[in-house]
């Protein structure tokens, strides 16, 4: 659907928009030089020009967002809202549509509320995980947050994209309760109970009167979220941790089958992930630390890495949160269920309030995981392939076999994680690469495409994808001759008749680009 070069009409509209934006925001908040365009492109891409924006504007208030929407409507420009733009592996700051203008909300950094008693916060888009963490710490809060592996991003942007963390509140999209949104025509609204002026339950009542719209603004281009309510968990009295590892790739299926019933029955407090050893090694150092040859990592090198790091082919961490007698009982039941699968006695560690916080298993923001992009050396990058599967060992094994075969064909080391829920598995695969390697520049997009196709053929959809693949993934949701695409298109045209807001996001295109 998208032209490979920027649409000249869109370029002219962007130029008009940027001129007018200077008058409203001032020249120091409008970025339209080549280096600005480069900075707001996808810095992980082989060819960042593919999704280069025409420029960017930094807004600081809701009124400024409304003003930007007004002039975008008048000029016919396209805007791509970002909170902090750290959506790496899925596009970073870059717009799906080349030539759109990035609406950067990273300066909107107010933490508007932390309700200590009822356990929620209200944040503006630019509030990062580090900002919220610092505030909770500075105020001596008894609330804990959940953070994704790499926590440079924003609390709001990550939740809106349905990001995840390895904590009890780790399904971040599901913790959203009540948002404030600016629609493409500039009108302002509040969802849920917040639709009532003076509501006392905006961020605590999930099921208020009428349709629930919070999720309508997740992974969509129907509005710009300017305030977001998110539930936080009460700090537990203690945590307990069990580390598990399985020696062979073929152990995945039993790894899944031993965990999902425990999760479904409420004996596990979060979705534990089986992470393959290359993933863990990539946080430790570059591949060259163990192997300098080309091609796939040889099996004997893989064995050496696992031995050296003391890990299995698959590795998982189970964390338990709560009063010590309660979690001790859960740990005992879980150990009894799992012990037959492991030759050595399963052990656990305990953390209690007052012990060093770093060992608490609270959501503590960090950026260690980004070390993975150094795996191949050179200017590194990564892209995520993230399908959802049923929580079922046999299907996980089949998925692994399919994806490993594709990785091998592409000549790229396999790195996958299977986060086991009670009913589904979120299967996050990272494709690591060196952006200066021409063979990888060809192999990686082809690998992504075949992975998406294979998954769809097996009945598995993606939960999230990179801007390059949004159309492809949207096309896999084809029930009723693409009935969902038509519904999204109808909503888009109604709410955004000029097609100015994030065209192409999640494969949702407004009318003016659909005919292209």
Task: Kindly list the residues in this chain that would bind ligand ADP in the complex (CB under 6 A).
Answer: 81-87, 105, 125, 153-154, 156-158, 160-161, 224-225, 502, 505
Torsion of CA 129, 134, 137, 143, to 10 degrees: -20
Which residue in 287, 406, 463, 485 is the catalytic one?
463
Catalytic residue among 90, 291, 321, 433: 90
Contact 499, 13 (CB under 8 A): no
3-state DSSP assignment of residue 233: strand
Q: Looking up tokens 């390895």, which residue turns up?
A: 166
DSSP per-residue letters across 164-192: B-SSTT-BGGGGEEEEEEE-TTS-EEE-G
Contact 39, 101 (CB under 8 A): no
Tell me the CA distances in angstroms from 341 to 23, 101, 259, 317, 344, one per residue in order: 67, 54, 11, 15, 9
Minimal distance, residue 84 CB to ligand ADP, in Å: 3
Least separation in angstroms between CB 158 and ligand ADP: 4
For this structure, is 463 an active site residue?
yes
Active-site option among 190, 287, 435, 464: 464
DSSP per residue, 340-380:
GG-SSPP--EEEETTS-GGGS-S-----GGGGGGGTTSSSE
**Residue 82 CB burial class (10 angstroms; 0-12, 13-18, ≥19):** buried
Is 404 one of the annotated active-site residues of the chain?
no
As beta bridge partners, residue 318 has: 242
Give residue 123's region: left, alpha or beta (phi > 0; psi -120 to 50).
beta
Crossing angle (nearest 10°) for helices 299-309 and 277-284: 60
Residue in the shown chain whose Cβ atom is closest to ligand ADP: 153
Using alpha carbons, list the distances in angstroms from residue 152 to 106, 132, 155, 158, 369: 12, 12, 10, 10, 11
As to burial, measured by CB atoms within 10 angstroms (0-12 exposed, 13-18 middle, 19+ buried), residue 81 is: buried
Rounded distance between C-alpha atoms, residue 428 and residue 388, angstroms: 9
Catalytic status, residue 260: no
* Residues acting as catalytic residues: 90, 463-464
């Amino acid at each position: 659907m998208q032209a490979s070069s920027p649409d000249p009409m869109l370029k002219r509209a962007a130029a008009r928009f940027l001129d007018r934006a200077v008058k409203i925001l001032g020249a120091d908040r409008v970025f339209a030089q080549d280096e600005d365009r480069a900075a707001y492109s996808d810095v992980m891409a082989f060819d960042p020009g593919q999704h280069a924006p025409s420029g960017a504007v930094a807004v600081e208030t809701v009124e400024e967002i409304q003003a930007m929407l007004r002039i975008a409507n008048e000029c016919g420009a396209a805007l791509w809202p970002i909170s902090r733009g750290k959506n790496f592996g899925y596009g970073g700051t870059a717009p799906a549509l080349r030539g759109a203008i990035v609406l950067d909300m990273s300066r909107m950094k107010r933490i508007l509320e932390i309700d200590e008693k009822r356990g929620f916060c209200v944040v503006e888009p630019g509030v990062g995980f580090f900002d919220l963490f610092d505030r909770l710490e500075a105020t001596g809060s008894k609330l804990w947050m959940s953070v994704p592996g790499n926590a440079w991003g924003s609390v709001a942007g990550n939740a809106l994209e349905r990001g995840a963390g390895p904590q009890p509140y780790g399904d971040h999209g599901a913790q959203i309760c009540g948002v404030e949104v600016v629609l493409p025509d500039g009108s302002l609204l509040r969802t849920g109970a917040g639709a009532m002026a003076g509501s006392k339950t905006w961020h605590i009542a999930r099921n208020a009167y009428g349709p629930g719209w919070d999720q309508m603004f997740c992974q969509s281009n129907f509005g710009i979220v300017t305030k977001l309510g998110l539930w936080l968990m009460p700090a537990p009295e203690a945590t307990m941790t069990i580390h598990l590892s399985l020696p062979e790739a073929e152990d995945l299926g039993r790894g899944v089958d031993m965990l999902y019933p425990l999760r479904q029955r409420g004996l596990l407090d979060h979705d534990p992930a089986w992470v393959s050893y290359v993933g863990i090694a990539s946080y430790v150092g570059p591949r060259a630390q163990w192997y300098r040859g080309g091609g796939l990592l040889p099996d004997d090198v893989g064995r050496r890495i696992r031995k050296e790091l003391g890990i299995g082919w698959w590795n998982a961490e189970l964390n338990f949160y709560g009063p010590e007698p309660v979690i001790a009982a859960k740990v005992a039941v879980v150990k009894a269920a799992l012990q037959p699968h492991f030759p050595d006695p399963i052990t656990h560690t305990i953390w209690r309030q007052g012990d060093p916080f770093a060992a608490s298993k609270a959501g503590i923001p960090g950026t260690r995981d980004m070390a993975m992009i150094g795996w191949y050396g050179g200017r590194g990058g990564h892209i995520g392939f993230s399908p959802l599967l049923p929580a079922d060992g046999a299907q996980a094994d089949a998925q692994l076999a399919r994806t490993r075969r594709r990785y091998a064909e592409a000549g790229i080391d396999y790195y996958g994680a299977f986060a086991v829920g009670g009913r589904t598995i979120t299967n996050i695969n990272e494709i690591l690469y060196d952006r200066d390697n021409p063979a990888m520049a060809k192999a990686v997009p082809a690998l992504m495409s075949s992975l998406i196709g294979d998954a769809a053929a097996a009945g598995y959809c993606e939960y999230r994808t990179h801007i390059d693949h949004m159309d492809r993934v949207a096309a896999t949701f084809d029930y009723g001759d693409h009935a969902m695409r038509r519904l999204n298109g109808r909503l888009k045209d109604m709410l955004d008749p000029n097609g100015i807001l994030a065209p192409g996001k999640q494969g949702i295109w407004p009318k003016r680009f659909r005919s292209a």
